[in-house]
Chain A
Amino acid sequence: RKEVEQDPGPFNVPEGATVAFNCTYSNSASQSFFWYRQDCRKEPKLLMSVYSSGNEDGRFTAQLNRASQYISLLIRDSKLSDSATYLCVLYGSSNTGKLIFGQGTTLQVKP
């Protein structure tokens, strides 16, 4: 079983839609979680960290459910510029910062 699993999509949504992605992880000892964004043929960039209490950054909301070992990302009022691959990421080792990546979920926002 992969350490981090995501539905690869693609998710095709119209502008203005609300879309949610989930990600599950296998290691219950994992402590730190993130969402990264990767545009086509570009490097990944940190979108937001995921906190136990949930956190929001503008149109983006991240949630963590430790009991069920899943993380979610909600995007409200989707923009064309949100089209990208969203990577669910956690620390493989909090001491080193080694990151474990999911395969990513592709979002395509259509006009």
Chain B
Amino acid sequence: GAGVSQSPSNKVTEKGKDVELRCDPISGHTALYWYRQSLGQGLEFLIYFQGNSAPDKSGLPSDRFSAERTGGSVSTLTIQRTQQEDSAVYLCASSQSGGSYEQYFGPGTRLTVT
């Protein structure tokens, strides 16, 4: 079946602009995660959604970052007033449920802030 999809695959934006990154999880997966991978850095957790529960936002680096998940499916990560240090690959993952289920990653969105 279809895997996790993300769009756009690449995004170049000017410093100070807002960007929206989209994630379509695997159908039926109730848990959705956003991670970020900066050059030379490991992946870092950003935010987690599970069903209708309040999201775990503990990994968001600043209040310029927000995410929502509509209808328990598609998720959008928004970065306001982008900064050069926001340049990274943003990866989305989904799993059947939270906890110990395997997470399947999408191909990521490569964000470059100039």
Contact = CB atoms under 8 A, between A and B. Distances in A.
A83 B105 CA distance: 20
Nearest to B101: A97
Contacts, number: 58
Interface stretch (A9-17, A53-61, A64-72, A88-96): A88-96
Interface of B: 31, 33, 35, 40-45, 48, 50, 56, 59, 91, 95, 98-103, 105-108
A42 B110 CA distance: 11
Interface string A26-45: 00000010000000001111
Interface of A: 4, 32, 42-46, 87, 91-104
Main secondary structure of the interface of A (DSSP, over half): strand
A87 B43 contact: yes
A43 B103 CA distance: 11
A69 to B, nearest CB: 18
